[in-house]
């Protein structure tokens, strides 16, 4: 296979700086000497990115908001671990939480969901109480909307954001990031109850009686799009959370639908969304999986539930 290497860039450097700083913070909790190495690496990546930022930001073509979001989160991570005022200043200059009505994200404008939770819990003396309060309010407000959705959907599922279309893990994976974080910040039982309810749909409480994580529950997908396992003959691996049902009204032009339309009755347009799942190996939009969209979110939700006192 060809080996590819990307030139150094702003976005990847900011992302790396934030993740390395977070890793250093976790390693510090374990008294692992690698913490210092990761922190040093994070600071060097951030220093490189900041040296290149003025030139890139001054160009006519606007930087994608994801670059600014990664910069903001990296600043928050570095401030959280070092307490250095320069990172706090950079975070406050780039934060979206300027007022009490700020949301954690705005479609195609910014997404500072992770930074909101981090800054709201950062313990240093220099934290802007107003900004931390605004971030906390944004998380709680969105979690309250998620709670309301669990009460109105037929099987208790919810969405992280109101513009999420049904597909690519929305029904197979609990969309409870905001609910979990709201519970951490407030301790209010309504958030954990909604989290438990929202976790059930992907675990099997759905019209198909199917758990969307392979090898779990009474029934689970038998044909996940895992090329390694299929080619090597290992069979169905356990622990892969597939994308699950797909709303044909929004995604009906997906090429894979054309391969199965002749085998469906009634026509695809009549199928209920929660039943529009076909366990077909070469249907990526349903049977593929990813770390960040399905597996990690599942682990986050169930891991938090497992950590609570019984």
Residue 141, pLDDT score: 96
- Mean predicted confidence (pLDDT) in 176-192: 97
Q: Count CB-CB contacts under 10 A for residue 146.
A: 23
Report whether pLDDT(184) > 80: yes
Q: Which two tokens stand for residue 220?
A: 């689970």
Within 13 Å and on the Cβ side, how many CA atoms surround 210? 21
CB distance 257 to 139 below 8 Å: no
Vertex 30 angle, CA 28 and 31, to 5°: 60
Q: How far are the Cα atoms of 104, 212, 291 from residue 280, in angstroms, in the given order? A: 36, 13, 20
Residue 109, pLDDT score: 95
Q: Where are the beta strands (DSSP E) in the chain?
A: 105-106, 110-111
Looking at residue 295, the DSSP 8-state letter turns out to be I
- pLDDT per residue as tens digits for the range 117-168: 999 999 998 999 999 999 999 999 999 999 999 999 989 999 987 778 889 9
Residue 1, pLDDT score: 75
CB distance 214 to 298 below 8 Å: no
- pLDDT per residue as tens digits for the range 195-225: 999 999 999 999 999 999 999 999 999 999 9
**How sure is the predictor about 174, in pLDDT bands with cuts at 50, 70 and 90?**
very high
Rounded Cα–Cα distance for residues 71 and 49 (Å): 9
Radius of gyration of the chain (CA): 21
Among 251, 292, 301, 295, which residue's Cα sits nearest to residue 273? 251
pLDDT averaged over every residue in the chain:
94
- pLDDT per residue as tens digits for the range 26-53: 999 999 999 999 999 999 999 999 999 9
Higher-confidence residue of 259 and 157: namely 157
Among 91, 56, 89, 54, which residue's Cα sits nearest to residue 72? 91
Higher-confidence residue of 14 and 2: namely 14
- Mean predicted confidence (pLDDT) in 239-249: 94
């Amino acid at each position: 296979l060809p080996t590819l290497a990307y030139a150094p860039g702003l976005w990847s450097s900011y992302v790396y700086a934030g993740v390395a700083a977070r890793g250093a913070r976790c390693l510090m909790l374990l008294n692992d000497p690698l913490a210092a190495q990761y922190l040093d690496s994070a600071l060097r990546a951030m220093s490189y990115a900041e040296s290149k930022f003025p030139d890139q930001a001054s160009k006519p073509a606007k930087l994608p908001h994801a670059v600014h979001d990664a910069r903001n989160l990296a600043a928050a991570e570095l401030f959280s671990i070092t307490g250095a005022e320069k990172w706090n200043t950079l975070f406050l200059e780039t934060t979206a939480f300027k007022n009490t009505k700020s949301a954690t994200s705005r479609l195609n404008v910014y997404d500072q969901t992770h930074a909101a939770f981090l800054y709201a819990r950062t313990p240093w003396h220099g934290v802007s109480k107003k900004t931390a309060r605004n971030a906390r309010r944004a998380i709680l407000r969105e979690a309250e909307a998620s709670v309301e959705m669990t009460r109105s959907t037929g099987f208790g599922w919810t969405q992280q954001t109101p513009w999420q279309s049904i597909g690519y893990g929305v029904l197979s994976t609990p969309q409870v990031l905001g609910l979990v974080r709201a519970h951490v910040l407030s301790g209010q039982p309504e958030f954990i109850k909604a989290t438990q309810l929202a976790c059930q749909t992907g675990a099997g409480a759905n019209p198909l009686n199917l758990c969307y994580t392979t090898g779990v529950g009474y029934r689970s997908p038998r044909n996940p799009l895992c090329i390694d396992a299929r080619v090597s003959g290992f069979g169905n691996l356990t622990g892969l959370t597939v994308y699950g049902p797909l709303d044909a009204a929004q995604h009906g032009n997906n090429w894979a639908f054309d391969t199965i339309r002749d085998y469906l009755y009634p026509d695809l347009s009549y199928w209920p969304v929660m039943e529009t799942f076909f366990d077909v190996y070469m249907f990526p939009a349903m049977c593929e999986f990813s770390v960040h969209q399905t597996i990690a979110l599942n682990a986050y939700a169930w891991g938090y539930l497992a950590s609570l006192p019984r």
